[in-house]
Amino acid sequence: MVAKQAHAPRAAVERKVLLAIREGHLDPRLLNSARSLCQRLDAELDILLLAAGSALPAEVAALVRDLRAAGVMYSLTQKTQLRRRDIVQYANTHECVVTVVIDSLAGWESVAEDRAANPWAKLACPLVTAAPPGKDAP
């Protein structure tokens, strides 16, 4: 007779989509892409926001309302300084981040200190750019 061992149910693997946004560059297509990825991947949303001041920009407040209405779990971190390498480091040090969503490569290039470097090449997960066609906004 072989004894069967009961297995405890596995805890769901925590997965997160990292959305890096810049104040004034919050396109609906970008938000829809991030929200859709979260729903398809059964993932939460981590938002890194580059914004001056401590007040939440109106466009981001609207995003938060939409996320709540859609039932998407999220966290929001607002920073006055956020560079490409900061995004890559955040994603690479949080194993639960399964993809990074940004508006455009050129947009993040405009806030880079060292434009000769390519930190995106060191990103350990897929990078999704969601700028509208023909618009690679700086």
β-strands 44-50, 16-22: how paired?
parallel
Q: 13 falls in which pLDDT band (50, 70, 90)?
A: low
Amino acid at 117: A
What kind of fold does domain 21-114 have according to CATH?
Answer: Cobalt-precorrin-4 Transmethylase; domain 1 (3.40.1010)
Q: What is the pLDDT of residue 6?
A: 42
pLDDT, tens only, 22-44: 988 888 888 888 888 998 999 99
Backbone φ, ψ for residue 21 (5° rounding): -130, 155
| pLDDT at residue number 3 | 40
Residue for token pair 């990825």: 37
Q: Per residue in 89-104, pLDDT tens?
A: 999 999 999 999 999 8
Q: Where are the domains of the chain?
A: 21-114
Task: Give the pair of three-digit tokens for residue 64.
Answer: 């938060």
User: Would you list the DSSP string of the chain?
Assistant: -PPPPPPPPPPPPP-EEEEEEETT---HHHHHHHHHHHHHHT-EEEEEEE-SSSSPPHHHHHHHHHHHHHT--EEEEEES---HHHHHHHHHH-TTEEEEEES-HHHHHTT-S-TT--GGGG-SS-EEE-PPTT----
Tell whether pTM > 0.85: no
